[in-house]
Amino acid sequence: MSRGNKYEAVIIGAGHNGLTAAAYLAGAGLSTLVLERREIVGGCCVTEEIAPGCRASTTSYIASMLRPEIIRDLELARYGLRMVPCDPALQVPFPDGEVVSWWADRDRTVAELGRLSVKDANRFVRVDDQLKKLARYLQPFFLEPPPELEVDSLHGWWNLLRTGKRFRGIRSTEITQLISFLTGSLGDFLDRNYESDKVKTLFLANSVYGKHGGPYDPGTALGLLFHLLSGGEHELQGFYGHVMGGMGAITQALAEAARNRGVAIRTSAPVARIDVRNGQVRAVVLEDGSEISTRTVLSNADPKRTFLGLIAASELPEDFRRAVQGIKMSGPCAKVNLVLAEEPKVNGRPPDAGPAERSLFTLVPSLEFAERCYDIAKFGEIPEQLWVDCVVASNVDPSLAPKGRHIMTCFVQFVPYFLRSGTWEENRELLGERVINKIAEYAPNVPRALVARQVLTPLDLERIYGLSEGNIFHGDLTLEQLFFMRPVPGWSQYRSPIQGLYLCGAGAHPGGGVTGAPGHNAAFQVLRDLGRRYRQAGR
């Protein structure tokens, strides 16, 4: 039990990973405190009011890879979590008025693609089976620390052996394919396998949003495997879900699960620094000067905010600080949330389309378009023609808005954090106007239906949600920043050079997205180090 301002574990940040870690630590009997600088819990997994009576998933907006093990362990359904599968999972309207969908029923998708190319429709089945099999090889690594590549100790050899066993039965051709996906480009893969530009674009819409690189950049093929990892309550590969109540329902359920295990959660409690003495965590100091004694701190903040902002430079090895400084951040995305007086009427959509079919669409007409968009953004310009991913959540969840109002969230792919000229304060409304203009090309009724608009630039993501350089993944998802290289080489096991200080957020393995995996893995690393067991999971 805690005594006043003393806890066995303190977690900085009440995002979904921080809350996940807290629930597991409390399940092992540790007195645990979560500190959140904002007035609400949730981090970037929140539902917030953007106009009177109108609520939106202001940042993250679709649930895809929330770990089934965490849903079960923490009994999140008991605390109100309910997800409805997106069907279709993807939908791309094209400038010529044709709309192409990726349905949950694979046979229906094959029939859809057959309208564009019979060859591509037949190829889709073989490729889908291949990708899902490769994704299953990667699946076990999500809920365990990455291997330590140290062969000068028995522990290091055991880690390598454990890793090798995960690939038992893999064929040489599959190894080649896996390496190709980890290092190759999405565009090259699609050009090799498909002939229809529209089929290729549908796959492009299943890319990793918030990641650097146009579709022909090396490493961009990884997204195809990333989104075929299992997720949701029923552990479905390639799961996409609408969360009833918005994405904040996930973190509200996590917070209730944590509280019922004895976790204390304080909001409006920004942390000023982590106090370290002789290389060991001693306390967490808040901005109001209050001090909380603890020997164990888990930071759900990103690596730069944690190690460069909360720790005195003298307490960390210089080479470690340099490595953290070198983490590629510079988030390439923004978010625009809308309240509409009528739902978007997308050109070419069937008049009898149901609410689920009318709930999402992605505006990216071709691979060439996406490549040009990234080329413009990487040089600090805001593209005039934007890649926009749209979700009309109120079609599936009417509780988000009163009658006569519709909630539409728009994720904007490929905008720069660092602008070549001007500031984001000066360009915020320009970005909002360009998003509306792009949507109007496909849904002409949207501009006149606009009631309210919230524009979150990369700088807003940093200022409001605490994401260094607006990076939603706490560091770009590139091969040199994944697995045993995340957050930096030599420190992939959630520990840090300071005894008692751990990283539990998306900057740690396996990375970003609303998965809960970094929080889960960091908590169990702490428990192993402390010699404690998680009782409720029977581990």
Question: pLDDT, tens digit, for every residue of 44-87?
Answer: 999 999 999 999 999 999 998 899 999 999 999 999 999 999 99
What letter does residue 422 receive in the DSSP assignment? S
Q: What is the mean pLDDT of residues 243-256?
A: 98
What tokens were used for 86? Answer: 């997106």
State phi, psi for 250 to the nearest 5 degrees. -65, -50
Q: What is the mean pLDDT of residues 23-48?
A: 97
Higher pLDDT, 238 or 387: 387
The side-by-side arrangement of strands in the sheet containing 271-277 is: 271-277, 280-286, 291-293
Whether 3 has a pLDDT exceeding 70, the answer reads no
**Euclidean distance between CA atoms 316 and 308, whole angstroms:** 9
Bridge partners of 34, per DSSP, are 11, 265
- The pLDDT of residue 132 is 84
15-19, 104-108, 443-447: the lowest-pLDDT one: 104-108
The tokens 């009011």 sit on which residue? Answer: 49
Confidence of residue 2 (pLDDT cuts 50, 70, 90): very low
139-143, 187-191, 370-374: the lowest-pLDDT one: 139-143
What tokens were used for 78? Answer: 């008991």
SS3 361: strand
Q: Does domain 9-45+70-83+244-327+476-530 have CATH number 3.50.50.60?
A: yes
Instruction: Say whether the peptide bond before residue 270 is cis (omega within 30 degrees of 0).
Output: no
229-233, 255-259, 388-392, 432-436: the lowest-pLDDT one: 229-233
Q: How many residues does the chain have?
A: 539
- The pLDDT of residue 207 is 82
Q: What is the mean pLDDT of residues 191-208?
A: 92
| Beta-sheet pairing, 90-93 with 99-102 | antiparallel
pLDDT single digits (tens) 400-410: 999 999 999 99
- The pLDDT of residue 1 is 43
State phi, psi for 512 to the nearest 5 degrees. -85, -175
Report how many helices (DSSP H) and strands (DSSP E) the chain contains, helices first. Answer: 17, 21
- The pLDDT of residue 169 is 63
The pTM of the full predicted model, rounded to 2 decimals, is 0.93
The half-sphere exposure of 123 on its side-chain side, counting CA atoms within 13 A, is 16
Q: Residue 224 is which amino acid?
A: L
**Euclidean distance between CA atoms 382 and 378, whole angstroms:** 9
Confidence of residue 157 (pLDDT cuts 50, 70, 90): low
What tokens were used for 527? Answer: 């428990």
Q: Would you say 26 and 261 are in contact if contact means Cβ atoms under 8 Å apart?
A: yes
Whether 103 has a pLDDT exceeding 60, the answer reads yes
